[in-house]
């Protein structure tokens, strides 16, 4: 199979999954309307956006990182650290803007640490970011301990209770703006194409002149900053800063990105898929909660959907491979699914 | 063979550096020994601060509390060595722990042997399901086991919502077993050590076990070499699941009261322990013994922080920094060991 | 001393009575509002799986069942504020009459709860309070009294002498921190000058973490005489450890807040002599009645009274000691060998 035709097959698979996401989205909406009398309302858009906001924003830097074949499990802890630093600085009279800047700077430093260890030292990102996951949360705990900081300017706290315009919640609006930027960068620039190149074949990308290390380093720094910003947004939305903010969200973020069709091996997927995934997950949560499907049942359904997202695109491949193996006895590429 | 990796530089033979690097190579080879040394150092430092840390009771407690993590680390290490990962173990442990509790609730006369078999069986079944999906449909194990983490935990939460298995439900012999000792060593620790030794021996002495390393180093080459990769990977997932199931029963024995939240969040703790223990996250190297020692190390640190009267707010930051130190150290050793190899044999090194 | 309306006024003549006479003089005379039929109440526990929470939810359901209303339980599987948010939103969308919440974070949910209030929903917190405005807190027991009685239970058993420690839940847990605050205050009293609080450790309500910090505690303070664990996971895990290490019992005493069902075994075999707790089902039941009454027109102000079915009459207490308007379920029950068989929650 020539690389060109393989590329076309891949593109077709991609289209398939995104179409599947659109179908799922329509199904979720129809389901919500049929089952709940309150689902078809503007509040659904507002509340759904408010609830999924943090995960949605963090999903974007995660998308880029996974596209290059790496991962960042420290995102939720960085949210917590951003929240804690913001609260801590605010409490120490730096002013709101000062506190924001300090929190963003800490985000950049944390991201740079991840980036340095992954891109420069060459350590496996999953191990590095599990380490920083623990460490960032730990530093947040040292900073705030059991205290909770509140008293932010009420005008800023509006982001937790009022829509920015129409019925869009602030966090979700930020997500959409960022998603548009990410969409353009990933799909319309050389930089974006280089991410796919790195994800598909790091060595080839390197020899093609792509600055692999610098790119990866940059992605982690951006991830740190955006996640710290999410921490600030969370603090304002909740009108309080606490070190435990966002605990455990990292796997949700990864799950949302993968459900959006980004391959865990990198090099495959699109920003629009992630946007669809975010909207589906957000709406599903609202729909399920209004018709009182318990959160434990939601866990099972969500896990099932995640599995579906990787099984469905693979079914064709499995069939092809079995046929291919019979015809050509081609060796399998990897044992099991790999990481 | 030329260097093809982006980060690799072609290293020319350098004989004088060989001796220095040979030390690094030796250390790399005896990674478990290094971890054991680190454990002893932390233990010693804490004991200087607080002599009471070195008492029998204290050591027994460390070993018995660490036992469940160690058990999970054995299975996780085997999975990771094949270049896969199992994030479902915490949920599987919870399912097993809760189901065994329910078993005793419904039939108080259930024998302990049956309880162990049920726990292990449930875990093995979960592992088999994950193994099938991973190997046959070729879905990345990270995604499959992440999905399984949600599905299995959701399932336990559905069947166990609001149910607390009380301590009196479990037979006395099971719950005393949680801390009972033989010649001063906790039974639970001995069981886990036996499992670890068996696993280590299998991976060292049996072709099937050694093949796990081959699969992890180069899956395609392993398959070409005639290794039944699908069967091997399936097997390690069953083993990992079964050990998580066994961990569930040990969890019951230790805490004697259980609800549907048992084992929440254990997956990342265990992956941390395995990586600290020197198992490469991308497979192909490391050992079960190292992983088990990694689990002990984490437990020693957590307990030492309290025993040394350091504010518990520091726990997480220190644990995280330690993990980073461990993998950086590993990398350093790997690079030096490789250089030593180059210096000795005069071959260029491909990362 | 029972903290029902009648006796409370007599017992706490000072602050409470003074304020309620001034503020609620008219409220006391307010007519009883009949409960509206078909009330919809959203119960948002800390999570939907923990037995304690589920017992309390069932209490709420029982109350609304008696009053002809309906309860919807909605929360996450883990104790995070983010997981409780959708439940509040669902209540708004369903035009619920009241929300009863056990908050996972004292402040983070206030913006959402304020929206609920703006939509005409009465907000009642129970078990774990919120810092928001205009809500009623159904306190499981007088916070100060819990702090004091925990110290007293332990003091009695160890002869008011020696080092003591606290094994708590998560370091940010609202309830535990409030009780610990009062424990510390109580320890300043002359009676307790022989007792020294040496350390507070946090087991994060996870059995293994609780065991780890407990063991660290025991080696850090070998002369420890007593441990107070004001959380059900902490006390049951510690009890199991002591039960299997009986030699420790010679000098170490454990008490705290625990579920009788979880602790029965340890009380009967002498590992733990006494501990206390309120009845979570009654707590939910009272919260259910309070919600129904507020939603039916009972004013939210100090001195207002309402009837809580089998539990009798209750009066809304004025803000005091960092707690806003509240109703106190009653003094906690102290469990020991003599009575523990009688309780099955």
Smallest Cβ–Cβ distance between C212 and the set B65, B180, B313 belongs to B65
Subunits touching C (CB < 8 Å, at least 3 pairs)?
A, B
Residue B1 has pLDDT above 70, yes or no: no
Phi/psi of residue B108, nearest 5 degrees: -60, -15
Q: What is the pLDDT of residues C94-129, one digit of tens each?
A: 999 999 999 999 899 999 999 999 999 999 999 999
Q: What is the pLDDT of residues A11-28, one digit of tens each?
A: 555 457 888 899 999 999
- Distance separating alpha carbons of residues B78 and B144, to the nearest angstrom: 17
Residue B219 has pLDDT above 70, yes or no: yes
Average pLDDT, chain B: 86
What is the predicted pLDDT for the residue at A320? Answer: 67
Smallest Cβ–Cβ distance between A138 and the set B134, B268, B318 belongs to B318
Which structural domain range is residue A295 located in?
47-316
Q: Among B266-280, C187-201, C288-302, where is mean pLDDT lowest?
A: B266-280
Do residues C83 and C13 both lie within one domain? Answer: yes
- Distance separating alpha carbons of residues C127 and C175, to the nearest angstrom: 8
Q: Looking at C238, C262, C277, which one is the last position of a domain? A: C277
* Interface ipTM: 0.85
* Count of domains for chain C: 2
Average pLDDT, chain C: 88
What is the predicted pLDDT for the residue at B14? Answer: 45
Question: Domain for residue C65, yes or no?
Answer: yes
HSE, CB side, 13 Å, CA atoms: give it for residue B3: 14
Question: Domain for residue A41, yes or no?
Answer: no
* Count of domains for chain B: 1
What is the predicted pLDDT for the residue at C26? Answer: 40
Do residues C16 and C137 both lie within one domain? Answer: yes
Q: What percent of chain A has pLDDT over 90?
A: 67
Question: Domain for residue B247, yes or no?
Answer: yes
Max mean pLDDT among A29-38, A216-225, B219-228, B306-315 falls in: A216-225
Q: What is the pLDDT of residues A134-182, one digit of tens each?
A: 999 999 999 998 889 999 998 998 888 888 888 899 999 999 999 999 9
Average pLDDT, chain A: 88
A123 contacts in chain B (CB < 8 Å):
327-328, 331
Look up the CATH number of the domain holding residue C57.
3.40.50.2300
Question: Domain for residue A7, yes or no?
Answer: no
Question: Domain for residue B4, yes or no?
Answer: no
Which structural domain range is residue B306 located in?
15-345
Look up the CATH number of the domain holding residue A211.
1.10.3470
Which structural domain range is residue C303 located in?
5-141+279-337
* Count of domains for chain A: 1
Do residues C116 and C229 both lie within one domain? Answer: no
Question: Domain for residue B1, yes or no?
Answer: no
Query: How much is the CA Rg of chain A, to the nearest whole Å?
Result: 21
- Distance separating alpha carbons of residues A29 and A282, to the nearest angstrom: 11
Smallest Cβ–Cβ distance between A289 and the set C74, C106, C131 belongs to C74
Q: Do C240 and B58 touch (CB under 8 A)?
A: no
Q: Which residues of A touch C (CB under 8 A)?
A: 38, 41, 43-44, 47, 50-51, 54, 141, 145-146, 148, 150, 157, 160-161, 237-240, 242-249, 285-286, 289-290, 292, 294-296, 299
Residue with tokens 């009685």: C149
Q: What percent of chain C has pLDDT over 90?
A: 76
Do residues C283 and C273 both lie within one domain? Answer: no
Q: What percent of chain B has pLDDT over 90?
A: 54
The pLDDT confidence band at residue C12, using thresholds 50, 70 and 90, is very low
Smallest Cβ–Cβ distance between C212 and the set B163, B260, B299 belongs to B299
Average pLDDT over residues C158-177: 92
Q: Looking at C258, C277, C296, which one is the last position of a domain? A: C277
Residue B87 has pLDDT above 80, yes or no: yes
Q: Do B312 and C208 touch (CB under 8 A)?
A: no
What is the predicted pLDDT for the residue at C32? Answer: 59
- Distance separating alpha carbons of residues C266 and C292, to the nearest angstrom: 39
Please, are residues B80 and B290 in contact by the beta-carbon 8 Å criterion?
Answer: no
- Distance separating alpha carbons of residues B307 and B300, to the nearest angstrom: 10
What is the predicted pLDDT for the residue at B334? Answer: 73
Please, are residues B281 and B77 in contact by the beta-carbon 8 Å criterion?
Answer: no
- Distance separating alpha carbons of residues C115 and C109, to the nearest angstrom: 10
More confident position, B34 or A11: B34
Beta strands in chain C (DSSP E): 40-44, 70-73, 98-101, 122-126, 136-139, 162-168, 195-202, 224-229, 253-256, 275-277, 305-307, 313-315, 326-328, 333-335
Which tokens belong to C159?
């002869």
What is the predicted pLDDT for the residue at A15? Answer: 53
Residue A240 has pLDDT above 50, yes or no: yes
Subunits touching B (CB < 8 Å, at least 3 pairs)?
A, C
Question: Domain for residue B10, yes or no?
Answer: no
Residue A9 has pLDDT above 50, yes or no: no
Question: Domain for residue C73, yes or no?
Answer: yes
- With CA atoms as reference, report the closest residue to A283 among A9, A14, A44, A20: A44
Question: Domain for residue A338, yes or no?
Answer: no
Do residues C262 and C301 both lie within one domain? Answer: no
Q: Looking at C242, C260, C277, which one is the last position of a domain? A: C277
- Distance separating alpha carbons of residues B143 and A255, to the nearest angstrom: 8
What is the predicted pLDDT for the residue at B21? Answer: 58
Residue C294 has pLDDT above 90, yes or no: yes
What is the predicted pLDDT for the residue at C2? Answer: 36
Which tokens belong to B59?
């050591």
Cβ neighbours, 10 Å, residue C56: 30
Q: For an interface test with C, which of A39, A45, A48, A146 has the most C Cβ atoms less than 10 Å from its Cβ?
A: A146
- Distance separating alpha carbons of residues B249 and B245, to the nearest angstrom: 7
Question: Domain for residue A1, yes or no?
Answer: no
Q: Do C240 and B68 touch (CB under 8 A)?
A: no
Please, are residues A43 and A214 in contact by the beta-carbon 8 Å criterion?
Answer: no
Question: Domain for residue A31, yes or no?
Answer: no
What is the predicted pLDDT for the residue at C323? Answer: 86
More confident position, A229 or C142: A229
Q: What is the pLDDT of residues A286-321, one digit of tens each?
A: 999 988 899 999 999 999 988 888 887 777 666 666
| Greatest extent of chain A over all pairs of C-alpha atoms, in Å | 72
Q: Among A19-28, B62-71, C19-28, where is mean pLDDT lowest?
A: C19-28
Coil, strand or helix at C142: coil
What is the predicted pLDDT for the residue at B66? Answer: 94
The pLDDT confidence band at residue A339, using thresholds 50, 70 and 90, is low
What is the predicted pLDDT for the residue at B137? Answer: 84
Question: Domain for residue C342, yes or no?
Answer: no
What is the predicted pLDDT for the residue at B22? Answer: 62
Q: Do B324 and A315 touch (CB under 8 A)?
A: no
Q: What is the pLDDT of residues C40-56, one digit of tens each?
A: 999 999 999 888 999 99
- With CA atoms as reference, report the closest residue to C113 among C97, C130, C128: C130
Max mean pLDDT among A23-37, B49-63, B173-187, B304-318 falls in: A23-37
B350 contacts in chain A (CB < 8 Å):
none
Look up the CATH number of the domain holding residue B287.
1.10.3470
- The crossing angle, in degrees rounded to 10, of helices B89-106 and B56-81 is 120
Do residues C48 and C128 both lie within one domain? Answer: yes
Cα B136 to chain centroid distance, Å, stands at: 25
- With CA atoms as reference, report the closest residue to B281 among A125, A283, A276, C22: A125
Alpha-carbon distance C275 to nearest alpha carbon in chain B (angstroms): 17
Question: Domain for residue B6, yes or no?
Answer: no
Do residues C208 and C299 both lie within one domain? Answer: no
What is the predicted pLDDT for the residue at A105? Answer: 98
- Distance separating alpha carbons of residues C30 and C183, to the nearest angstrom: 37
Q: What is the pLDDT of residues A208-234, one digit of tens each?
A: 889 999 999 999 999 999 999 999 999
Average pLDDT over residues A230-240: 95
């Amino acid at each position: 199979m020539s690389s060109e035709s393989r590329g076309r097959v891949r593109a077709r698979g991609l289209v398939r999954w995104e179409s599947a996401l659109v179908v799922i989205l329509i199904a979720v909406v129809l389901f919500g309307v049929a089952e709940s009398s309150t689902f078809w309302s503007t509040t659904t858009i507002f509340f759904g956006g408010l609830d999924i906001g943090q995960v949605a924003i963090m999903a974007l830097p995660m998308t880029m990182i996974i596209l290059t074949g790496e991962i960042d499990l420290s995102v939720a802890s960085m949210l917590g650290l951003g929240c804690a630093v913001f609260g801590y600085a605010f409490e120490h009279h730096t002013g709101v803007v000062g506190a924001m800047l300090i929190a963003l700077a800490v985000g950049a430093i944390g991201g740079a640490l991840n980036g340095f260890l992954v891109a420069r030292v060459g350590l496996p990102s999953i191990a590095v970011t599990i380490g920083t996951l623990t460490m960032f949360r730990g530093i947040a705990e040292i900073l705030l301990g059991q205290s909770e900081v509140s008293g932010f300017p009420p005008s800023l706290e509006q982001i937790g209770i009022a829509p920015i315009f129409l019925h869009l919640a602030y966090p979700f609006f930020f997500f959409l703006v960022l998603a548009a930027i990410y969409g353009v960068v990933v799909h319309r620039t050389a930089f974006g194409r280089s991410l796919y190149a790195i994800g598909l074949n790091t060595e080839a990308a390197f020899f093609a002149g792509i600055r692999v290390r610098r790119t990866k380093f940059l992605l982690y720094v951006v991830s740190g900053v955006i996640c710290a910003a999410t921490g600030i947004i969370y603090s304002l939305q909740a009108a309080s800063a606490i070190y435990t903010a966002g605990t455990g969200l990292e796997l949700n973020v990864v799950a949302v990105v993968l459900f959006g069709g980004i391959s865990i091996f990198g090099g495959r997927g699109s920003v629009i898929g992630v946007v669809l995934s975010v909207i589906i997950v957000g709406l599903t949560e609202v729909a399920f909660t209004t018709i009182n499907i318990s959160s434990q049942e939601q866990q099972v359904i969500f896990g099932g959907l995640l599995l579906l997202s990787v099984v469905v695109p693979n079914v064709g491949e499995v069939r092809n491979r079995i046929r291919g193996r019979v015809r050509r006895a081609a060796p399998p590429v990897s044992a099991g699914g790999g990481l | 063979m030329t260097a093809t990796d982006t980060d690799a530089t072609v290293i020319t033979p350098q004989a004088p550096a060989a001796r220095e690097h040979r030390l690094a190579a030796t250390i790399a080879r005896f990674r478990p020994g290094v971890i054991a040394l680190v454990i002893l150092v932390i233990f010693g430092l804490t004991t200087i601060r607080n002599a009471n840390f070195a008492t029998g009771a204290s050591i027994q407690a460390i070993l018995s509390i660490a036992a469940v993590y160690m058990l999970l680390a054995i299975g996780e290490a085997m999975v990771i060595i094949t270049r896969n990962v199992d994030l479902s173990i915490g949920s599987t442990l919870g399912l097993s722990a809760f189901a065994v509790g329910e078993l005793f609730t419904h039939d108080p006369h259930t024998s302990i042997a049956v309880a162990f078999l049920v726990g292990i069986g449930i875990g093995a079944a979960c592992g088999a399901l994950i193994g099938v999906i991973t190997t046959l449909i070729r879905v990345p194990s990270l995604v499959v086991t992440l999905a399984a983490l949600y599905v299995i935990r959701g399932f336990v939460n559905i069947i166990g919502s609001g149910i607390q298995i009380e301590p009196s439900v479990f037979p006395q012999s099971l719950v005393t077993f949680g801390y009972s000792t033989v010649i001063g060593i906790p039974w639970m620790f001995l069981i886990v050590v036996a499992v670890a030794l068996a696993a280590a021996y299998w991976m060292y002495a049996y072709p099937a076990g050694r093949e796990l390393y081959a699969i992890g180093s180069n899956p395609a080459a392993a398959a070409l070499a005639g290794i039944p990769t699908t069967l091997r990977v399936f097997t390690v997932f069953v083993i990992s699941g079964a050990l998580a199931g066994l961990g569930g029963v040990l969890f019951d024995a230790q805490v004697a009261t259980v609800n549907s939240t048992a084992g929440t969040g254990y997956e990342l703790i265990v992956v941390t322990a395995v990586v600290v223990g020197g198992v490469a996250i991308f497979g192909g190297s490391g050992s079960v013994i190292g992983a088990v020692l990694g689990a002990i190390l984490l437990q020693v640190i957590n307990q030492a922080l309290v025993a040394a009267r350091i504010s518990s707010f520091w726990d997480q930051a220190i644990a995280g920094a330690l993990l980073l130190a461990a993998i950086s150290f590993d990398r350093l050793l790997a690079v030096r060991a490789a250089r030593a190899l180059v210096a000795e044999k005069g071959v260029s090194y491909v990362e | 001393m029972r903290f029902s309306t009648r006796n409370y006024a007599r017992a706490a003549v000072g602050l409470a009575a003074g304020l309620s006479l001034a503020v609620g003089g008219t409220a006391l005379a307010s007519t009883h509002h009949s409960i509206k039929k078909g009330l919809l109440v959203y119960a948002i526990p800390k999570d939907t799986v923990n037995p304690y929470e589920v017992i309390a939810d069932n209490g709420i359901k029982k109350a609304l069942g008696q009053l002809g209303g309906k309860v919807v339980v909605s929360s996450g599987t883990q104790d995070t504020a983010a997981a409780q948010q959708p439940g509040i939103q669902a209540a708004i969308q369903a035009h619920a009459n009241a929300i009863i919440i056990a908050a996972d974070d004292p402040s983070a949910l206030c913006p959402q709860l304020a929206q609920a209030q703006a939509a005409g929903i009465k907000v009642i917190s129970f078990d774990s309070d919120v810092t928001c405005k205009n809500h009623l807190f159904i306190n499981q027991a007088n916070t100060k009294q819990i702090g004091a009685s925990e110290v007293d239970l332990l003091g009695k058993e160890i002869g008011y002498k020696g080092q003591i420690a606290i094994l708590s839940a998560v370091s940010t847990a609202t309830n535990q921190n409030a009780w610990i605050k009062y424990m510390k205050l109580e320890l300043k009293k002359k009676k307790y000058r022989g007792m020294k609080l040496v350390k507070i450790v946090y087991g994060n309500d996870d059995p293994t973490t609780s065991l780890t910090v407990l063991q660290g505690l025991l080696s850090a303070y070998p002369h420890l005489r007593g441990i107070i664990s004001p959380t059900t996971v902490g006390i049951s895990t510690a009890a199991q450890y002591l039960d299997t290490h009986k030699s420790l019992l010679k000098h170490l005493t454990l008490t705290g807040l625990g579920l009788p069902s979880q602790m029965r075994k340890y009380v009967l075999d002498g590992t733990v002599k006494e501990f206390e707790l309120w009845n979570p089902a009654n707590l939910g039941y009272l919260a259910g009645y309070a919600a129904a009454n507020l939603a039916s027109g009972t004013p939210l102000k100090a001195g207002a009274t309402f009837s809580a079915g089998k539990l009798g009459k209750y009066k809304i207490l004025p803000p005091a000691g960092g707690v806003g308007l509240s109703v106190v379920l009653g003094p906690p029950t102290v469990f020991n060998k003599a009575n523990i068989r009688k309780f099955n929650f």
